[in-house]
Amino acid sequence: MDKNLLALWHSVPSGDIKKEEMADVLGLSLKQTSRYIGKWASEGWFDYTSGRGRGKISTLRWLKNVEEVFEREVMNLIDQEAVEKSSKYLVYDWSQDAKLRLLDRFRSKFGFSQDSQENDKLIIPRRYKLMTMHPQETADVHSANFVATVFNRLVFVDSVGGIWPELAHSWDLSPTHLRLYMKKGVKFHDGSTLSAEDAAACLNRLRKHSNFKELWAPIKKITAAAPLVIDLEFPDGCSYCLQLLGMITSSIYKETNGKLLGTGSFYVDDSHELKTVLLAFNEFFGERPLLDAIEFVQVPEDFDIAYRSSRHQSKDETFLVESDSGVGMLFMNAFRDSPIKRKEVRDYIHWAIARHRSSISRIDSRILPNAKGMLIGRSSDYETPPFSKPEFDKPIVIKTTGYLGESSEWLRDVLLQEGIPVEMYEMPFHEYLTDNGTGQQADIFLHGEVFEMNQDFSFYYFLINGLSPLKPMIASDPYLSGLLEQYVGTPFPEWSRLNLVAEKHLIGSSVMVPLYYAKRQIPFSADLKNINLSHFGYVDFSKLWVRPNL
Torsion of CA 483, 324, 289, 186, to 10 degrees: 0
Q: Are 51 and 69 contained in the same domain?
A: no
Contacts of 413 (CB under 8 A, 6+ apart): none
From the list 488, 501, 485, the residue with the least C-alpha distance to 240 is: 488
Query: Along the 550 residues of the chain, how does pLDDT read in single tens digits?
Result: 899 999 999 999 999 999 999 999 999 999 999 999 999 999 999 999 987 666 678 999 999 999 999 999 999 998 888 777 787 888 888 998 998 888 878 877 776 777 667 788 888 777 777 888 899 988 787 788 889 899 999 999 887 888 999 999 999 999 999 999 999 999 999 999 999 999 999 999 999 998 899 999 999 999 999 999 999 999 999 999 999 999 999 999 999 888 999 999 999 998 887 788 999 999 999 989 888 998 888 776 666 555 554 444 444 455 455 555 578 899 998 888 889 989 999 999 999 999 999 999 888 777 889 999 888 888 888 888 889 999 998 999 999 988 788 899 999 999 999 999 999 999 888 788 778 766 677 899 888 887 776 888 989 988 888 778 787 777 788 999 999 999 999 999 899 999 999 999 999 999 999 999 876 555 566 667 776 766 565 677 888 777 766 6
Q: Are 479 and 353 contained in the same domain?
A: yes
Q: Are 77 and 27 contained in the same domain?
A: no
Backbone angles phi, psi at 4, to 5 degrees: -65, -40
Beta strands (DSSP E) in 183-334 are: 221-226, 229-233, 254-256, 259-261, 266-271, 275-280, 293-298, 318-332
Q: Are 236 and 166 contained in the same domain?
A: yes
Q: Are 358 and 378 contained in the same domain?
A: yes
The CATH number assigned to the domain holding 447 equals: 3.10.105.10
CA pair distance 484, 460, nearest whole angstrom: 8
pLDDT reported for residue 418:
94
pLDDT reported for residue 314:
45
* Domain that residue 102 falls in: 65-106
Residue 297 lies in a domain: no
Q: Are 60 and 84 contained in the same domain?
A: no
pLDDT reported for residue 538:
65
Q: What strands lie across the sheet with 168-174, from one edge to the other?
A: 168-174, 177-182, 229-233, 221-226
Beta strands (DSSP E) in 316-443 are: 318-332, 367-369, 396-400, 422-426
Q: Are 433 and 367 contained in the same domain?
A: yes
CA pair distance 540, 148, nearest whole angstrom: 9
Residue 275 lies in a domain: no
Burial of 400 by CB count in 10 Å (0-12 exposed, 13-18 middle, 19+ buried)?
A: buried
Domains in the chain, number: 4
CA pair distance 30, 23, nearest whole angstrom: 6
Residue 284 lies in a domain: no
Tell me, letter by letter, the H, E, C secondary structure of 223-255.
EEEECCEEEEECCCCCCCHHHHHCCHHHCECEE
CA pair distance 290, 86, nearest whole angstrom: 28
Q: Are 99 and 168 contained in the same domain?
A: no
The domain boundary residue, chosen from 263, 283, 301: 263
The CATH number assigned to the domain holding 157 equals: 3.90.76.10
From the list 57, 66, 52, 47, the residue with the least C-alpha distance to 19 is: 57
CA pair distance 540, 398, nearest whole angstrom: 36
Torsion of CA 441, 447, 450, 455, to 10 degrees: 90
Backbone angles phi, psi at 9, to 5 degrees: -60, -40
Q: Are 224 and 90 contained in the same domain?
A: no
Residue 433 lies in a domain: yes
111-118 CB contacts, 8 Å cutoff, 24+ apart: 111/307, 111/308, 111/309, 111/310, 111/312, 111/313, 111/525, 112/308, 112/309, 112/310, 112/311, 112/525, 112/527, 112/528, 112/546, 113/310
Beta strands (DSSP E) in 80-162 are: 111-114, 120-126, 155-157
Q: Are 35 and 70 contained in the same domain?
A: no
The domain boundary residue, chosen from 30, 49, 64: 64
The CATH number assigned to the domain holding 41 equals: 1.10.10.10
Rg (CA), the chain: 27
Torsion of CA 516, 329, 450, 203, to 10 degrees: -170
Q: Are 361 and 231 contained in the same domain?
A: no
Residue 118 lies in a domain: no
Residue 280 lies in a domain: no
Contacts of 523 (CB under 8 A, 6+ apart): 304, 305, 306, 307, 308, 315, 318, 319, 320
Residue 142 lies in a domain: no
Q: Are 218 and 230 contained in the same domain?
A: yes
Residue 91 lies in a domain: yes
CA pair distance 246, 178, nearest whole angstrom: 14
